[in-house]
């Protein structure tokens, strides 16, 4: 029979309504918020006595009706841990205080039902248990640290790391170190008062990821579209953790783009291999072709000059009537060569100038193209990147008394 009654009580306690937390956003005091978060954490861990202490101190700092319901729930749950009737009486009292303080609360129905359940359990207890005075307990001195990182640990006075929980300490000041992977450690001096719980919220600052980049000297580095310097970097880049788009760009090279999933405090090494653009390769080809044309033009101009000099010598003899028929034929042949090679040299040198100018334009305006960074959750199609040089056409243009080239390009 006793086992049946114990099972019935346990079922009534565990199947009741969950705690009605006021919520950190509803608590305007940072100190009260630290106590509230301590109470919520201790409640979830089943440390209901500590939850009661934390919720009561939070309520003392900010009178939120929801905290009264949470205190009642914690007292009710604590009865399941120690079987002390005083916890049930206190639970019923706080339920009633909640009903009186919050006339439009969402948990009023739960509070009414909980009062009936608690009173039913108290009615089944032996009279001597119901009337037994509450035992006087010495409250321990505790420190509780809260932070936004769930897996953070705390060390008190240089002790070993411990999980976030209310920890018993001696009265006085204590040095508390809060740390978590990927976050900068924080140290605080916390005064612990005799018989009280001291709660303190310690926000942790995220560590960046450390990214080292190797690539061509002078290349520009951007992260999510923001400039970060030029290679070589003096030190690894400190970048906020998360998915980031890294671009390494240099004139005349295709932009190196990669997406990095960076973790807090972790190092990442990136090697940026940049390939030359078709436009830059085309400019080099044109420079070579222009140089060849210039060399050929100079050679033909020199040959034309020599042929012209020989033709002039024979022409002077022809004027003086001191030239025979064979020399006259040589004169005419050399004169024709002079005219032909002068024309060839003009064409070649003009071609060299045109190719050189075109090569300069292609080389100078071969700037890197950066696309917008793509978000991690962007499921849409990628934006079509504008390619570089697509087509190029160089056509000779000949006319009466003029030699030139017609140039066309499509980017």
- Bridge partners of 392, per DSSP, are 409
Widest distance between CA atoms in the chain: 158
> How many Cα atoms within 13 Å fall on the side-chain side of residue 14?
9
Residue 382 tokens read as 């990628």
Position 381 pLDDT exceeds 50? no
The backbone torsions φ and ψ at residue 315, rounded to the nearest 5 degrees and listed phi first, read -65, -40
**pLDDT per position as a tens digit, 307-349:** 777 667 666 666 666 666 666 676 677 777 778 878 887 887 8
Percent of the chain with pLDDT over 90: 49
Q: How far apart are the C-alpha atoms of 348 and 121, rounded to whole Å? A: 110
Reduced DSSP (H G I as helix, E B as strand, rest coil) percent helix, strand, coil of the chain, to 5:
45, 25, 35
Distance CA 282, CA 304 (A): 32
Lateral strand order in the sheet of 242-249: 226-230, 220-223, 242-249, 256-262
Higher pLDDT, 409 or 123: 123
**Cβ count near 304 (within 10 Å):** 20
* CA–CA distance, 343 with 341 (Å, rounded to integer): 5
pLDDT computed for residue 259 by the predictor:
94
DSSP element (H, E) containing 313: helix 278-319
Torsion over CA of 289, 295, 298 and 302, rounded to 10 degrees?
Answer: -140
**Does residue 370 sit in helix, strand or coil?**
coil
Chain mean position to CA 395: 51
Q: CB-based contacts of 127: which residues, under 8 Å, 6+ apart?
A: none
Quick one: which of 270, 240, 257 has its CA closest to 371? 257
Highest average pLDDT, of 3-12, 205-214, 280-289, comes from: 205-214
Q: Pick the most confident of 12-26, 119-133, 379-393.
A: 119-133
pLDDT category of residue 56 using cuts at 50, 70 and 90: very high
pLDDT for 316 equals 67
Question: Which pLDDT does position 151 carry in this prediction?
Answer: 93
Predicted local confidence at residue 95, as pLDDT: 95
**Structure-model confidence comparison of residues 367 and 252, the more confident one:** 252
Q: Are 270 and 246 in contact (CB under 8 A)?
A: yes
- CA separation for the pair 330, 314 (Å, rounded): 8
Q: What is the mean pLDDT of residues 36-42?
A: 95
Res. 356 pLDDT band, cuts 50 70 90: confident
DSSP designation for 240 = -
* Residue 12, pLDDT above cutoff 70: no
79 to 69, 126, 148, 303: CA distances (angstroms) = 16, 16, 31, 115
Q: What is the mean pLDDT of residues 256-283?
A: 89
Q: Has residue 284 got a pLDDT over 90?
A: no
Region 116-120: mean pLDDT is 93
Residue 8 confidence (pLDDT) above 50: no
How far is Cα 33 from Cα 61, in angstroms, rounded to an integer?
9
More confident residue, 202 or 134: 202
pLDDT of residue 351: 84
pLDDT value for 296: 84
- For the cut 60, the answer to whether the pLDDT of residue 245 exceeds it is yes
Kindly report the average pLDDT of the chain as a whole number.
81
> Quick check: 2 pLDDT over 50?
no
**What CATH superfamily classification does 2-130 receive?**
Tetratricopeptide repeat domain (1.25.40.10)
Mean of pLDDT values over 108-120: 94
pLDDT number for residue 323: 64
Q: Say which residues have a Cβ less than 8 Å from residue 51's Cβ, sequence separation at least 6.
A: 39, 40, 42, 43, 70, 74, 77
Instruction: Give the model's pLDDT for residue 352.
Output: 77
Q: How far, in Å, CA of 112 to CA of 102, rounded?
A: 13
CA atoms lying within 13 Å on the CB side of residue 37: 24
Cis status of the peptide bond prior to 232, with omega within 30 of 0: yes
- What HEC string does 100-141 produce? HHCCCCCCHHHHHHHHHHHHHHHHHCCHHHHCCCCCCCCCCC
- Per-residue pLDDT, 7: 40
Q: Is the separation of the CB atoms in 221 and 213 below 8 Å? A: yes
- Which three-class secondary structure state does DSSP give residue 387? coil
Q: So what's the pLDDT on residue 38?
A: 95
What is the CB neighbour count within 10 angstroms for residue 230?
Answer: 15
Asked whether residue 127 carries a pLDDT value surpassing 90, the answer given is: no
Q: Give 203's Cβ-side CA count (13 Å radius).
A: 5
Contact 209, 263 (CB under 8 A): yes
d(C-alpha 174, C-alpha 172), whole Å: 7
Rounded CA-CA distance 174/192 in Å is: 7
């Amino acid at each position: 029979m006793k086992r049946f009654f114990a099972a019935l009580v346990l079922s009534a306690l565990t199947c009741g309504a969950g705690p009605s937390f006021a919520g950190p956003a509803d608590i305007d005091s940072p100190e009260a918020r630290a106590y509230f978060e301590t109470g919520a954490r201790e409640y979830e861990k089943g440390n209901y006595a500590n939850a009661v202490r934390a919720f009561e101190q939070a309520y003392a700092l900010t009178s939120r009706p929801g905290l009264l319901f949470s205190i009642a729930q914690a007292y009710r749950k604590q009865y399941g841990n120690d079987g002390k009737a005083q916890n049930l009486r206190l639970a019923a009292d706080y339920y009633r205080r909640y009903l009186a303080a919050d006339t439009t609360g969402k948990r009023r129905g739960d509070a009414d039902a909980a009062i009936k359940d608690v009173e039913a359990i108290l009615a089944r207890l032996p009279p001597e248990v119901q009337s037994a005075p509450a035992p006087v307990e010495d409250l321990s001195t505790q420190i509780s640290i809260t932070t936004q990182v769930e897996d953070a640990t705390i060390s008190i006075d240089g002790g070993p790391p411990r999980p976030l929980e209310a920890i018993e300490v001696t009265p006085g000041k204590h040095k508390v170190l809060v740390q978590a992977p990927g976050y900068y450690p924080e140290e605080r001096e916390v005064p612990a008062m005799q018989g009280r719980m001291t709660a303190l919220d310690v926000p942790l600052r995220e560590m960046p990821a450390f990214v080292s980049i190797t690539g061509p000297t002078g290349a520009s580095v951007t992260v999510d579209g923001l400039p970060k310097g030029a290679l070589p970097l003096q030190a690894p880049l400190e970048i906020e953790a998360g998915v980031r788009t890294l671009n390494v760009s240099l004139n005349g090279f295709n932009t190196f783009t990669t997406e990095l999933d960076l973790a807090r405090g972790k190092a990442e090494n990136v090697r940026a291999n940049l390939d030359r653009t078709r436009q830059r390769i085309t400019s080099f080809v044109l420079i070579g072709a222009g140089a060849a044309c210039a060399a050929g033009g100079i050679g033909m101009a020199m040959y034309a000059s020599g042929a012209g000099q020989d033709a002039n010598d024979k022409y002077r003899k022809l004027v003086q009537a001191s030239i025979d028929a064979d020399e006259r034929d040589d004169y005419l042949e050399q004169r024709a060569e002079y005219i032909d090679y002068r024309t060839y040299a003009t064409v070649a040198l003009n071609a060299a100038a045109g190719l050189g100018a075109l090569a300069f334009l292609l080389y100078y305006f071969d700037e890197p193209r950066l696309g917008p960074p793509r978000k991690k959750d962007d499921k849409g199609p990628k934006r079509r990147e504008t390619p570089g040089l697509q087509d190029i056409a160089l056509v000779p243009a000949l006319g009466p008394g003029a030699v030139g080239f017609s140039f066309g390009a499509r980017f």
